[in-house]
């Protein structure tokens, strides 16, 4: 039988993920606060509705892709929270990157209502979301993951079971702390080369075949004009926002405090992203950290 999906949060990631579900045999009810985002999905064949409550009516699966913990908590548990509205037996998949503790709290609240919920944050960027090649990093019970698997396969390529509720988030923020460090380091190296007369494209080619190679350099180059189809070549529009990266580095810092782990590089790059945001770049793609470092 055809499965009905409610998809809430149609931003840089949610919209292309929902579009990939539409290409499969799923019917979609969608909701976002942005009218433009709703129109994009409605034009592609989704049913755009006026509230999250309307979206979850009759849904077998509920997917959320929102910015941060407070949005996810508000969506499910707030005054107009949708948890009471979701049909018995439905599965909830939260793909947002949020605090592990929030994921645990949400899963408990869902369980108290007889619903299954998993945290399934993603990696792969907007390019991966469009291509349907995302990596899903799942926290929760194995049975719920198996129920989610066909849906996740429609949006991604790799699915990992990190552990119990919240473990997906913990793995995701470790990855993103490393990504932030690699992006800032890559931007720093490219800016140094350019300041000393090197062509950033030539330097990128050299480092891509040398020991400095990494994802930020090879697939998401922060220097304008080195690569097509990355935010650096369109004024850092779209992509993964500075404020979202700053949020993830804050989550990593909280996890470090709670476990007394040493994360000096993560702390440094968190402060760089904080300064960059304060200087007005919060809405730009995170590769724009280059602008903080370049003359």
Q: Would you call 209 a catalytic residue per the annotation?
A: no
Q: Which residue in this structure is represented by tokens 């107009």?
A: 80
- 229 vs 240: CA distance, rounded Å: 14
- Taking the least distance from each CB to ligand NAD, the nearer of 123 and 263 is 123
- Taking the least distance from each CB to ligand NAD, the nearer of 60 and 285 is 285
- Taking the least distance from each CB to ligand NAD, the nearer of 71 and 203 is 71
Q: How far is CA 217 from CA 116, 182, 183, 220, 265, in A?
A: 39, 8, 8, 6, 18
CB of 72 to ligand NAD, least distance (A): 8
CB of 121 to ligand NAD, least distance (A): 6
Q: How many helices (H) and strands (E) does the chain have?
A: 13, 9
Q: How many CB atoms lie within 10 A of CB 112?
A: 9
CB of 143 to ligand NAD, least distance (A): 25
- Taking the least distance from each CB to ligand NAD, the nearer of 83 and 203 is 83
Q: Which of 172, 201, 209, 284 is catalytic?
A: 172
- In a 13 Å sphere around the CA of 59, the CA atoms on its Cβ side amount to 27
CB of 213 to ligand NAD, least distance (A): 21
- 180 vs 271: CA distance, rounded Å: 11
Which residues bind to ligand NAD, rule: CB under 6 A? 8-14, 31-34, 37, 52, 65-67, 71, 74-75, 96-97, 122-123, 125-126, 239-240, 244, 248
Residue numbers annotated as active site: 172
């Amino acid at each position: 039988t055809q499965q009905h999906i409610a998809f809430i949060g149609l931003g840089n990631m949610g919209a292309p993920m929902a579009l990939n579900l539409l290409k499969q045999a799923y019917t979609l009810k969608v909701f976002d606060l942005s009218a433009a985002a709703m129109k994009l999905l409605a034009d592609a064949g989704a049913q755009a509705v006026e509230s999250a409550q309307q979206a979850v009516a009759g849904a077998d699966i509920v997917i959320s892709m929102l910015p941060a913990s407070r949005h996810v908590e508000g969506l499910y548990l707030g005054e107009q929270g949708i948890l009471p509205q979701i049909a018995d037996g439905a599965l909830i998949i939260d793909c947002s990157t949020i605090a592990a503790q929030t994921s645990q709290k949400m899963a408990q609240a869902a369980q108290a209502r007889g619903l299954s919920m998993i945290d399934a944050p993603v990696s792969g960027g907007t390019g991966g979301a469009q291509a349907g090649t995302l990596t899903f990093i799942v926290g929760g019970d194995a049975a719920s993951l198996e129920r989610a698997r066909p849906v996740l396969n429609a949006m991604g390529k790799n699915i990992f079971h990190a552990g119990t509720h919240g473990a997906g988030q913990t793995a995701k923020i470790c990855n993103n702390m490393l990504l932030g460090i690699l992006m800032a380091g890559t931007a720093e190296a490219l800016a140094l080369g350019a300041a000393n007369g090197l062509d950033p494209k030539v330097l990128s080619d050299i480092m891509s075949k040398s020991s400095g190679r990494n994802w930020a350099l090879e697939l998401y180059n922060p220097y304008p004009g080195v690569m097509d189809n990355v935010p650096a070549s369109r004024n850092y529009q779209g992509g993964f926002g500075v404020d979202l990266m700053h949020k993830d580095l804050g989550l990593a810092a909280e996890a470090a405090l709670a476990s007394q782990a040493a994360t000096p590089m993560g702390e440094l790059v968190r402060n760089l992203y904080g300064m960059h945001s304060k200087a007005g770049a919060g809405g730009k793609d995170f590769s724009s950290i280059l602008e903080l470092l370049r003359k």
